[in-house]
Amino acid sequence: MIGGLFIYNHKGEVLISRVYRDDIGRNAVDAFRVNVIHARQQVRSPVTNIARTSFFHVKRSNIWLAAVTKQNVNAAMVFEFLYKMCDVMTAYFGKISEENIKNNFVLIYELLDEILDFGYPQNSETGALKTFITQQGIKGQLQTKEEQSQITSQVTGQIGWRREGIKYRRNELFLDVLESVNLLMSPQGQVLSAHVSGRVVMKSYLSGMPECKFGMNDKIVIDKQGKGGASDDAGKSGKQSIAIDDCTFHQCVRLSKFDSERSISFIPPDGEYELMRYRTTKDIILPFRVIPLVREVGRTKLEVKVVIKSNFKPSLLAQKIEVRIPTPLNTSGVQVICMKGKAKYKASENAIVWKIKRMAGMKESQISAEIELLPTNDKKKWARPPISMNFEVPFAPSGLKVRYLKVFESKLNYSDHDVIKWVRYIGRSGIYETRC
């Protein structure tokens, strides 16, 4: 299991060092600094083996987190743990920066003591941790006996993510369907690969221990219902349903029930959390198409024309559109003309950045640029990185629709109708690239 955990700043100075196992010595701290942080090259592998000691490292802004072990550990678990550790730290004191870590080092040690025991990850739910790891140590004494046992049962219990006795005057819940569309398109407009990875994020402000049931237009479920129901209904819903390739759920969802009945039922944590993640590849609405045209005029000039077409209902508006057209390294000057928005050549990023604030559906816009090149005798060709795009659209490109979210709470007397529910769809660009 994990033998130790170190946190370094970008210079390689140790900010936090916690050793769990005897086989990890203080020298491991130095070994990692010398071999990885000071190596000054691109990281060639996230797992580094130095003198039979393995270092798992992730970098957050300019902070390095490294888990160290000498055993044959579960590698995926170690990385998941490191991400989780980052999440927990962010939940406690915001951004992970050198300053914040130094300011909270006592807290971090306390957290590390709690969520990692002898290298075995224990409960890492922020909600549960916050009940008993607070920055005021005195609180420990003020707790009554019931409170203490409640904490421990929550930490170890089946429903580690929710405590009892939560009360809200207004029972409310917010559902955000956040999708990111990933696309790789060939210069000829052929889709090489496209997928949507979506998340359903829920903010719940519900009293008691509510039992929730979540439904969406999953093809398998709809088809099943369609068989039993009227035939014309099946035809109609068949169009609207989507095929989900795969989905993963938050800890709270009963996986066995999903596996057998494909129904999503759970007791939600309080506050904001990610209910599920899913991935679809079929029938994706690609919100934008990028049509590039690159022409080399002689050896010192390049003409680029890029057309973007929006492909959704004209009543909807896409926002924060940004097209990034890479330019060769030996670019000396760029002239840009664009129909809409603003375009700028950023020499430091080697790209023309074209920004459009808003754009309605079924529209088209164009940019043309003349790129002057310095003559070079460099034989190596320019790699022509793909044109990438960022945007935000107010619908789900996968076509996912939330059909219902039912809330049942038997003990307290509020019913499904009393809960105020909000749903929002946001589609964002993931890696949305067109080769040119």
Partner 1 sequence: MTDSKYFTTTKKGEIFELKAELNSDKKEKKKEAVKKVIASMTVGKDVSALFPDVVNCMQTDNLELKKLVYLYLMNYAKSQPDMAIMAVNTFVKDCEDPNPLIRALAVRTMGCIRVDKITEYLCEPLRKCLKDEDPYVRKTAAVCVAKLHDINAQLVEDQGFLDTLKDLISDSNPMVVANAVAALSEIAESHPNSNLMDLNPQTMNKLLTALNECTEWGQIFILDCLANYTPRDDRESQSICERVTPRLSHANSAVVLSAVKVLMKFMEMLPKDLDYYGTLLKKLAPPLVTLLSAEPELQYVALRNINLIVQRRPEILKHEMKVFYVKYNDPIYVKLEKLDIMIRLASQANIAQVLAELKEYATEVDVDFVRKAVRAIGRCAIKVEQSAERCVSTLLDLIQTKVNYVVQEAIVVIKDIFRKYPNKYESVIATLCENLDSLDEPEARAAMIWIVGEYAERIDNADELLESFLEGFHDESTQVQLQLLTAIVKLFLKKPTETQELVQQVLSLATQDSDNPDLRDRGYIYWRLLSTDPVAAKEVVLAEKPLISEETDLIEPTLLEELICHIGTLASVYHKPPSAFDSDNPDLRDRGYIYWRLLSTDPVAAKEVVLAEKPLISEETDLIEPTLLEELICHIGTLASVYHKPPSAFVEGNHGVQHKGLPGSAGSHLSTPKQPASNISTMGKTKELSTDIRDKIVDLHKAGMGYKRIGKQLGEKISTVGAVIRKWKKHHTTANLPRSGPPHKILPRGVSLIMRTVRNHPKTTRGELMNQLKAAGTTVTKETVAKGTEHLHRIEGRMDGAMYCGILDQHFLPSVRELKMGQGWVFQHNNDPKHTAKATKEWLKKKHIKVLEWPSQSPNLNPIGNLWRELKIRVAR
1 belongs to the binding site for partner 1 (CB under 8 A): yes
- Interactions with partner 1, residue window 364-393 (CB under 8 A): 379-381, 383-386, 388
CA distance 40 to 72: 28
Does 176 engage in binding with partner 1 (CB under 8 A)?
no
Nearest residue to 399 (alpha-carbon basis) of 285, 287, 278: 285
Q: How far is the CB of 237 from partner 1 (least distance, A)?
A: 23
Rounded to a whole number of angstroms, the minimum distance from the CB of residue 115 to partner 1 is 9
Q: Is position 331 an interface residue for partner 1 (rule: CB under 8 A)?
A: no
User: What is the SS3 assignment for 345?
Assistant: strand
Q: Which stretch binds partner 1 (CB under 8 A): 191-199, 206-214, 226-234, 312-320?
A: 191-199
Is 105 an interacting residue with respect to partner 1 (CB under 8 A)?
Answer: yes
Task: Tell me which residue of 12, 113, 106, 103 sits closest to 59, measured CA to CA.
Answer: 12
Sheet containing 288-297, strands listed edge to edge, beginning at the edge strand earlier in sequence: 288-297, 301-310, 364-373, 331-338
Burial of residue 217, with CB atoms counted within 10 A of its CB: 0-12 exposed, 13-18 middle, 19 or more buried: middle
Query: Which residue is associated with the tokens 């406690």?
Result: 92
Tell whether residue 342 is among the known ligand binding residues: yes
Among 10, 62, 83, 235, binds partner 1 (CB under 8 A): 83
Q: Which of 36, 64, 92, 124 binds partner 1 (CB under 8 A)?
A: 124
The mark string for 7-26 relative to partner 1 (x by CB under 8 A, - otherwise) is ----xxxxxxx-xxxxx-xx
Cβ atoms of 48 and 57 within 8 Å: the answer is yes
Select from 62, 87, 95, 103 the one that contacts partner 1 (CB under 8 A): 103
- State yes or no: residue 113 binds partner 1 (CB under 8 A): yes
Residue 387's closest CA among 432, 332, 340, 331?
432
92 vs 312, which CB is nearer to partner 1? Answer: 92
DSSP H stretches of helix in 168-308: 219-228, 231-240, 255-261
- Whether residue 428 contacts residue 179, with contact meaning beta carbons closer than 8 Å, is answered with yes
Identified binder of partner 1 from the candidate list 195, 284, 419, 429, rule CB under 8 A: 195
Q: Is 130 in the site for partner 1 (CB under 8 A)?
A: no
Cα(223)–Cα(126) distance, integer angstroms: 39
**Paired tokens of 190:** 């052929």
For residue 28, give the 3-state DSSP assignment.
Answer: helix
The answer to the question of whether 346 is labelled as a binding residue is yes
Smallest distance from the beta carbon of 133 to partner 1, in angstroms? 10
Around Cβ 428, how many Cβ atoms within 10 Å?
A: 17
- Residue 81 or residue 288: which is nearer to partner 1 going by CB? 81
Binding-residue pattern over the window 226 to 255 for partner 1, x denoting contact by CB under 8 A:
-------------------xxxxxxx--xx
3-state secondary structure of 244: coil
Choose the stretch contacting partner 1; rule: CB under 8 A; options: 147-155, 212-220, 225-233, 417-425: 147-155
Q: Which of residues 400-419 bind partner 1 (CB under 8 A)?
A: none
User: Which CB, 124 or 365, lies closer to partner 1?
Assistant: 124
- What does the per-residue mask of binding to partner 1 show for 21-60, with x meaning CB under 8 A? xxx-xxxxxxx-xxx--x---xxxxxx-xxxxxx-x-x--
* Cβ neighbourhood burial of 145 (10 Å; 0-12, 13-18, 19+): exposed
The answer on whether 406 is annotated among ligand-binding residues is: no
Q: Is 344 marked as a binding-site residue?
A: yes
Q: Which is nearer to partner 1, 251 or 311 (CB)?
A: 251
72 pairs with which residues across the strands? none
Spatial neighbors of 102 by CB under 8 A, at least 6 apart, are 15
Stretch that binds partner 1, among 123-131, 169-177, 214-222, 332-340 (CB under 8 A): 123-131
Q: Residue 70, annotated ligand binder? A: no
List residues forming the annotated binding site: 342, 344, 346, 355, 357
